Every structure is written in structure tokens, then in C-alpha cells.
Amino acid sequence: MAVDIIVPKDLWEEEVEGVIVAWLTEEGASVRKGDVVAEIMVKKVQFDILAPAEGRVRILKKADEIIRKGDVIGRIE
């Protein structure tokens, strides 16, 4: 079953957009639950995005793309 990789809604407080700095994995790579799969930046602060499950990564939003809280940026299949 696929699980979405979501930017947590409580990751930062203000209603501002962020950006994906880098994916720390690759399309199709296998990850464990809790692995850091991406780094995002809001203002000058960087946050880790963790794999919500074990499986293979599908990237839906690329590095440099703009993101909001709650966005689905990828999927674990």
C-alpha cells in the first residue's frame, strides 16, 4: 500500500511557503521508516522530511519546488 510523504502541518508556525532544498534519496530507492528523505527550507531554517514507511520512493515534487504545509511531496510504495 502506498503512503504519502507529507510536509507535516506543524513543522513550522507561520503561514509561509517553503522550498525543497534537496532529496536525500532517489526515485525508486528503498528507504526505511524514519529515514530522512528530503530537506526543506522555510525562510532560512532547514527541516528534515522523514519516510513515513518502508518501501520504494516516488518523488512527486522536485528539488527547488515550492511547498506548503500539508503538501504531498512524494510517496512510499
CA distance 33 to 16: 28
33 binds another protein (CB under 8 A): no
CA distance 49 to 7: 7
The closest alpha carbon to 55, from 40, 38, 74, belongs to 74
Residue 2 or 19: the one with the smaller Cβ distance to another protein is 19
23 binds another protein (CB under 8 A): yes
One residue of 18, 61, 69, 71 binding another protein per CB under 8 A: 18
Residues in contact with another protein by the rule CB under 8 A = 16-19, 21-30, 35-36, 39, 41-46, 63-64, 66
